[in-house]
Structure 1
């Protein structure tokens, strides 16, 4: 099928946490015979911080962040069999959604792909005039990269014909074990941009742990932390390019995952970092959230913490041997059950089922 995908960026992970997700899924779908065109705006300095070249498995169309350019790429939705508008593009989101829905052919599959469902649903609850309310009757599917039963129920309550979680996963060709790199040496490392609904949790889980263990070394990567006061045993790296993620994850004694507040509240929302880290056989410590056991077994494949004190206790008790055992067990679990090949198979089946349903004019059945 010809897929027109309107998203934040495929070429850059700069202020764009969905990049790994898009790359893993779309690359697999291309391998299954789908022809993908990815439309991304030249915005937020992402094109100046590209971390991959345009791939051979998708055509990438970078367009100027102007209304005229946006309307031009919207018109191209008319030639696609599947039209996807992703959340969180950051420029012209409402106009893109309404535009691609209107431009697509009646027989095309229209999808809203939500990469931050808690935020989108909160906006919809607060704003009866939200563009997604207006577009919902014309959408065939809502796909989300997390959220589980609470998000499915919420979207169905807003009138979605079907809502299906397609979780983050691992691409073992891009995220895998590598030798340690002295640049990333630490007892605990955390990678994430400084965002309003993440900062308090970084304080709780990471900075409190650092303060409790002044003799241990801590490493934080991501944008925005350079203006934040940090304990003396915390080293800040700034933006860490995707090409360095394997070394960042494979080098420290342990790696910390901290969900944003909205994701943690909903649960069932493992971040891409979870799979990147476990793919590199890192010993992962994560904040507690509902549904973690669907992906990793606490105590054996991941260490779970309720606060910074728990994180500090995990680090204080963790030996290199146990860290290695946890990391290897996690990698085996993820390789067995949570790769983008599995997610791609899921999405391919959803698209083929939906195409057959539309062609036959038959009522919808569950695609979960």
Structure 2
């Protein structure tokens, strides 16, 4: 089956947290025989900051950030069996949705794939006339990057025919153990861009523990933190390219996952970072969010902190041997249950089930 997928970017992870999710998921679907074309706009300097070249498992079409180009690429939707519009594409999202639905073939499966359900649902709740909310009844299926029952119920209440969470996973092709890198040696590493919905939590879970533990070395990677006041035992690395994520994950004693506030409040939303780090065999300390135990076992495969004081206590007691044991257990678990190959099996079942319902409804 042919898929036309309209998303933010497959080629660049620059200010684009969905890139890892798209790559892992679409590669796994391609391995199951899907013929995929990914359409991404040339915006936000992403094409100037590519971290992969166009892959052999997916055709990528980069279009200019103007309406004329948008009209051209959405017209190609009519050639697909499955048409997917993702959230947060970054250029004329409402018009993109309208055009994709307009051009999709009558028998095509129409899907909205939400990679930030808390943000999208907040928009829909605040505006009953939001174009996506108005379009939900003409969309065959909503897939979400996470969220569990609260997100499913919210989408159904707003008119979605069906909503299925498809969680993040591990792509072992790209995230795996490597040799430690002295540049990233330390006690605790955190990798994440500076975002309004995360900054206060970074202060609580990362900066305050660093102040409390001046003898330990902390590593901060990600864009936007250069002018942030921080203690001298934090080494700020700036943007860390995806090619270096494995080394960043394996080199410190532990790495920290800090969810955005909306994701933590929603729960059931494991970040791509969790699976990336676990796939490399890293010892992960994560902030608490409901549903962690569905993915990794607290205390055995992941360490859970409810605040900065917990982070300090965990880090103070964590030995290198214990960290290695936790990292190895996490890697074994995600390889067994949480790869994108596992997720693609689920997506394939969901696609086929939705297509059957569509045929039955037309008879």
TM-score normalised according to structure 2 size: 0.99
Shift of 1:359: 2.3
Asked if residue 145 in structure 1 is aligned to residue 145 in structure 2, the reply is yes
1:186 CA drift (Å): 1.3
CA shift for structure 1 position 134: 1.5
Count of residues in correspondence between the two structures = 363
Residue number in structure 1 paired with 2:86 = 86
Computed over aligned residues only, the root mean square deviation of the Cα atoms, in angstroms, reads 1.0
Q: Secondary structure of the equivalent of 1:227?
A: coil
Greater Cα shift, 70-79 or 270-279: 70-79
1:45 aligns with: 45
> What SS does structure 2 have at the residue aligned with 1:125?
helix
1:275-314 aligned within 5 A: 275-314=275-314
Report the equivalent of 1:366: none
In structure 2, runs of 5+ residues without a counterpart are none
2:346 counterpart residue number: 346
Q: Deviations over 1:232-270 (max 9, x none)?
A: 111111111111110010110000000000000000000
1:235 matched to 2:235: yes
CA distance in 2, matches of 1:99, 1:220: 41
SS of the equivalent of 2:153 reads helix
- Pairing 1:85-164 to 2, within 5 Å after superposition: 85-164=85-164
Q: Give the structure 1 partner of residue 63 of structure 2.
A: 63
- State how 1:186-205 maps to structure 2 within 5 Å: 186-205=186-205
Q: Which residue of 2 aligns with 1:223?
A: 223
Q: Residue 273 of structure 1 aligns with which residue? A: 273
Aligned counterpart, 1:330: 330
CA distance in 2, matches of 1:222, 1:56: 29
CA distance in 1, matches of 2:362, 2:296: 38
Counterpart Cα distance in 2 of 1:284 and 1:136: 38
2:32 is aligned to 32
Matches of 2:212 and 2:133, distance apart in 1:
47
**Mapped pair 1:247 → 2:247:** yes
Shift of 1:90: 1.4
Partner secondary structure for residue 134 of structure 2: helix
Per-residue deviation, residues 104-150 of structure 1 (Å, max 9, x unmatched):
01210000000000000000001112111121111000000100111
Q: Deviations over 1:203-249 (max 9, x none)?
A: 01000110110110000111101121111111111111111110010
Name 2:320's counterpart in structure 1.
320
* Alpha-carbon separation, structure 1, partners of 2:31 and 2:237: 35
Q: What's the offset of the Cα at 1:362?
A: 6.8
The reply to whether residue 184 of structure 1 matches residue 177 of structure 2 is: no
CA apart distance, 1:360: 3.1
Match of 2:60, SS state, is: strand
- Taking the aligned partners of 1:200 and 1:99, their CA distance within structure 2 comes to 38
> Could you tell me how far apart the structure 2 residues matched to 1:130 and 1:118 are?
15
Structure 1 CA distance for aligned equivalents of residues 193 and 83 of structure 2: 30
Q: 1: distance between equivalents of 2:258 and 2:362?
A: 43
Q: Give the equivalent residue in structure 1 for 2:360.
A: 360
